[in-house]
Amino acid sequence: MRSWLAIAFLLVSAGGSSAAIDAVNIYEPRKFGYFIGDILERRVEVITSGDTQLFTAALPRPGPLTYWLDLVSIKHTEREASGRRIYDITLKYQIFYSALEAKRLDIPAFPLRFINPGSAAPDARAPGEPDASSQLGNYTASVPALGLVISPLREIAVDNLMPDKTIEISDIMRPDAVAQEISTAPKVQLLALSAAVLAVSGILLLSHYAVWPFARRAKRPFTQAERQIRKRQFAASGEAPYGDLLLILHRAFDQSAGRRVFAADVPEFIARHERFAGLSPKLKSFFESSQLYFFSGDRRLAEDRFPSSELTRLAGDLAREERAAA
């Protein structure tokens, strides 16, 4: 469909200089069948050799060219092939002519400027200065005008000009194309996925804060301590090391209070956990003998004052009170 037109300028330098514009090939689109809004593309291929280069800064700039035509874009690339320099220029035009009848209009021609077309730089002469430099072997090339036939979109039916018209505009106008239905399936899937992520995060959050379904049973340090002490004594057949037993019970106190409990803290501990108030004298003697055991080195005295059996009984009492309160 796209016809191409090659205009070859075989330009031989008069002075035999190696610099030359070898060819300007123009690939044109079709020349007819255009409507308002159409975009057409022209491709220009410029081949130079030697020192000659296309002066790309002088190519037309995108923007309105005439009242009916815009140059939408112009792109150019440069490549080397077999010692020649090849410029590919792509010009994109858009037509804004609202034709009442089929009409031919011309895309204006534009010149191409070169650096060292012969041996002189293009800025060596003022633009528009005629042939002052022609003796220097200065050649030029240009992209010629392109004539286009632009057609109206529909039949023109003007009431006063065509009194005997037989068709209405509505008969001519065609309905708009039915809108294409956009598929919502991906969005629905994404929504479902998000909902699933939200649910999982919610569950994780509940578990993090230990809210209802994940609320664990209140810890019972004394119950666990009692179990541990009994296990130890059973394993050691009643002769478990006294210090270990003390430590187990100490850790239970610490866990129950949320901090380290020393002998001096016993009144405060009882004030906070009133259910142990009845055991207060026993707690006191437990802490006293623990002090003796750990800090005075008088271990025998500690064990005499508060023997293992007493300690086991105290752990049992504490555990019982703990369970009773829970």
Partner 1 sequence: MNGPTLDRRHADDSSEPPLDLQTWRSSALDFEREIAKAVVGQERAIRLLTIAVFARGHVLLEGDVGVGKTTLLRAVARALGGAYERIEGTIDLMPSDMIYYTFLNEEGKPRVEPGPALRHGRELSVFFFNEINRARPQVHSLLLRLMAERSITAFNKEHVFPHLLVFADRNRIEREETFELPAAARDRFLMEVAISTPTDENSRRELLFATRFHDVDTLIASLADGVVDNRRLNRLASVIQNTIVVSPALERYALDLWTAIREPASAGVQIANVDVTRLIAGGASPRGMSYLIRAARVSAWLSGRDMVVPEDIRDIFHPCMAHRIFLTPVYELRRDDIVRSLIADVFAKVPAP
- Which of 57, 100, 177, 264 forms a contact with partner 1 (CB under 8 A)? 264
40 φ, ψ to 5°? -125, 155
Site for partner 1 contains 259 (CB under 8 A): yes
If one asks whether residue 247 binds partner 1 (CB under 8 A), the answer comes out as yes
Interaction of residue 262 with partner 1, rule CB under 8 A: yes
Alpha-carbon torsion angle 305, 307, 310, 316, nearest 10? 130
Q: Compute the Cα dihedral for 147, 152, 155, 158 and give only its sign.
A: negative
* 98, 201, 296, 309: residue in contact with partner 1 (rule CB under 8 A): 296
Interface segment toward partner 1; rule CB under 8 A; list 9-17, 24-32, 122-130, 292-300 = 292-300
Instruction: Determine the interface stretch with partner 1 among 38-46, 112-120, 261-269, 309-317 (rule: CB under 8 A).
Output: 261-269
CB of 191 to partner 1, least distance (A): 38
Instruction: Give least dist CB 290 to partner 1, A.
Output: 8
**Rounded to whole angstroms, how far apart are CA atoms 74 and 87?**
13
List the beta bridge partners of residue 7.
24
Is 294 a binding residue for partner 1 by CB under 8 A? The answer is yes
Question: Which of the stretches 39-47, 219-227, 255-263, 309-317 binds partner 1 when contact is defined by CB under 8 A?
Answer: 255-263
How far from the centroid of its chain's Cα atoms is residue 228's Cα? 56
**Of 30 and 208, which CB lies nearer to partner 1 in the complex structure?**
208
Q: Does 301 participate in binding partner 1 (rule CB under 8 A)?
A: no
- Assess 228 for contact with partner 1 (CB under 8 A): no
Q: Residue 12 carries which DSSP code?
A: -
Q: Give the separation between CA 196 and CA 186, rounded to whole angstroms.
A: 15
Among positions 22, 254, 310, 321, the unique one binding partner 1 when judged by CB under 8 A: 254
By C-alpha distance, which of 64, 68, 71 is closest to 40?
Answer: 71
Give yes or no for residue 275 binding partner 1 (CB under 8 A).
Answer: no
3-state secondary structure of 249: helix
Give me the DSSP letters along 61-102.
PSEEEETTEEEEEEEEEEEEETTEEEEEEEEEEEE----SS-
Binding residues for partner 1, rule: CB under 8 A, are: 247, 250-251, 254, 258-260, 262-264, 291, 294-297
